[in-house]
Amino acid sequence: MSDSGESTSSEEHLFLSGILKEIGEVIKCNICTPKNEEELLTSSKLDLTSTTSTNSSRCKSFLGKDKNGFYSSLDQDTVYTSSLKEDNPISQHIIGYSKLLHCVSTHKPNIDHTSTILIDLFYKLFLVEKYILDFLLDPELLSVIDALRGKYNNQKIKKDIILLSQEYYKNNISALNCEQDIESLTFKIYKSIIKSIEEIKDNNNSTQDYNVIQDSNGIQYSNDINGNINMDDMDDIVHEYVLIVLFMRKESNRFHNIYKKVKHTSFSNRLAILFTYNQDCEFTAEYENIKKKSFINIDLLNKHIPNISRLVFLENEDYETWQRGIVYHYDWNDKVKLWMRNRCETSCLLDKSMIEECIKHKRFRDGWIIYKYGNKSIVNEFHKVISLCISALRHTNEEIWTDRIIEIIKAAIKKNDFYICMDLVEDIFYTLGGVSESQRSRIIKHFIKEIRVMENNEEIVTNIIKGINELCKKCINTETCDICVEHANMIYQEWKRNNTGGFFFKSHSKYESEIYENMLDMCDTVEDCDGFKNLCKDLVNNEAKINKGIYKKLQTVHTKTCKDCKHGTCQTLKVKDNQQLLYHLFNGFNL
């Protein structure tokens, strides 16, 4: 790890240690808190951390970092493969958290009820619980990239954290409706102060005028002329923090017991509805058309819990659209979970299947991530990944997918494998029709440049000409079409020199009938009369076998281009008369 990385990690752990220390100061437990410096040095009581930092500016400096940024320099792989030691920073945080749990549960401390302190307290509790839950629970939406990196394989560290917490919490997890192996400090503190808050609210003079202000964490509430916070605002903010924590902990019963008693926002209402998608949830929640989005600043929620916030505000006010989006996200989440549990490092079959699902569900970025970071054999699945990239390009029109298609073309052709190149020819020419002209022409230019090394194979040449014809049907009179026709004519002339004996010798190759037929078809598509005449000449000079396919092409083009033909028998010629038709065309064109 770099020096800067080590420094950042140290600062981040100091930040969380500072938060735990500040929470302990708010709790004000006379039993746990050392009374003087001497006791601080000798006591085994609530010495949460070795840091003396209580600078609240740390909270603001680390806002907005999720598990991949909030503690991004933490060496997760090391943590997952080794037992937690007490000098490990994670251990220190779990010990501090568990001591606070023990204090709140056992000593019933006198928690400061000052409004601003309580709002700040529950904000910090939210941060601490999110940090711990990141190690204990799968996130609300599983990320393909994190699944591939093993970030969700947390059973080992989960077991260590639970054992460590139990040692310092010293209480059995037997509380009613607690659905996790570690109790919630947020919920415990909430339960210890809620009655006092309600009493203060009842005694509060609600007739005063209030001004709306915003604190340093971006949380809005109302102050009276004396600077006292509107108790209703404080109550709403605290309850929403508690509901968010319970949602993250997946504790539906506790959530519902609080939710049904408090004022709702669109955020809390949709959290409740999201809970009902859990099969274990026993309560129901109805949609409420609420204008107030959240009592907590939305930017703060987006920074700290982006997945949850993204689900809640998926489509803003349109509930039906939001519901459809939720079903889509949860369905996809289930597929990622199933894939993650069953994939193995020795086979790429499930990774291939998952890329197919990515195409089907338009999760193109996830498909590319699987290709880049999945099973090592997946890098050779060019057919699957080129389909992914072309589908992505058609749907997004983003230039990055053009770059990726070119990257795959180069990697695939470099393998010098006949079957890979045959698939690639089909993928490129048969699926680029729906792509914008500028991107399509760029891809085609690179493809015909790279595929040159394989054009000594007659079967590949046959399929290139056939593919060019199919693509030209979809992009007639474009630069792409011109490039393709020019290339088809060039490789046809090369094939003619190499496989038919040139001008002096007549020989017949295995694929000559297909090549002639495909070239005639292309001339018909682009209405190339001169090209058609030259092909007729080649057919005569090489005494080519005129099969049923070639005959039909000749007859079709003759009918379209020779409308004033006086040859009365042309319309009744049969397959056996193919040479008669060919010589008729030969003479008619003055070849």
Task: Give the separation between CA 100 and CA 187, rounded to whole angstroms.
Answer: 12
pLDDT of 12-46, one tens digit each?
Answer: 678 888 888 888 888 776 666 544 434 433 343 44
Task: Give the separation between CA 588 and CA 173, rounded to whole angstroms.
Answer: 97
pLDDT of 241-273, one tens digit each?
Answer: 999 999 999 888 899 999 999 999 888 999 999
Task: Provide the pLDDT for residue 361.
Answer: 94
Closest CA to 46 of 27, 66, 68, 65: 27
pLDDT of 561-576, one tens digit each?
Answer: 665 555 544 444 443 4
Q: Which residues pair with 221 in a beta bridge?
A: 213
Task: Give the separation between CA 438 and CA 41, rounded to whole angstroms.
Answer: 72
Task: Give the separation between CA 427 and CA 565, rounded to whole angstroms.
Answer: 41
Reported as a pLDDT band with limits 50, 70 and 90, residue 72 is very low
Asked if residue 486 has pLDDT above 90, the reply is: yes
- The predicted model gives 489-493 an average pLDDT of 95
pLDDT of 83-124, one tens digit each?
Answer: 555 567 788 888 888 888 888 888 777 777 777 788 888 999
Query: DSSP alpha helices (H): ranges in 28-154?
Result: 37-42, 57-61, 76-81, 89-106, 115-136, 144-148
Measured over the CA atoms of residue 425, residue 431, residue 437 and residue 443, the dihedral's sign is negative
Cα–Cα separations (whole angstroms), residue 197 to 125, 189, 209, 231: 18, 12, 21, 8
Q: Which residues pair with 237 in a beta bridge?
A: none
Closest CA to 456 of 513, 496, 509, 495: 495
Whats the size of the chain, residue-wise? 591
Task: Provide the pLDDT for residue 6.
Answer: 40
How confident is the prediction for the chain on average, in pLDDT? 77
- The predicted model gives 374-384 an average pLDDT of 88
Q: What percent of the chain has pLDDT above 70?
A: 71
Task: Give the separation between CA 120 and CA 111, rounded to whole angstroms.
Answer: 13
CB count within 10 Å of CB 36 equals 8
Query: DSSP alpha helices (H): ranges in 364-417?
Result: 364-373, 382-396, 399-414
Helix (H) or strand (E) holding 258: helix 252-259
Calculate helix-pair angle for 349-360, 364-373, nearest 10 degrees.
Answer: 160
pTM: 0.73
Task: Provide the pLDDT for residue 316.
Answer: 59
pLDDT of 416-443, one tens digit each?
Answer: 999 999 999 999 999 999 899 999 999 9
Comparison of pLDDT for 78 and 444, the residue scoring more: 444
Task: Give the separation between CA 283 and CA 288, rounded to whole angstroms.
Answer: 16
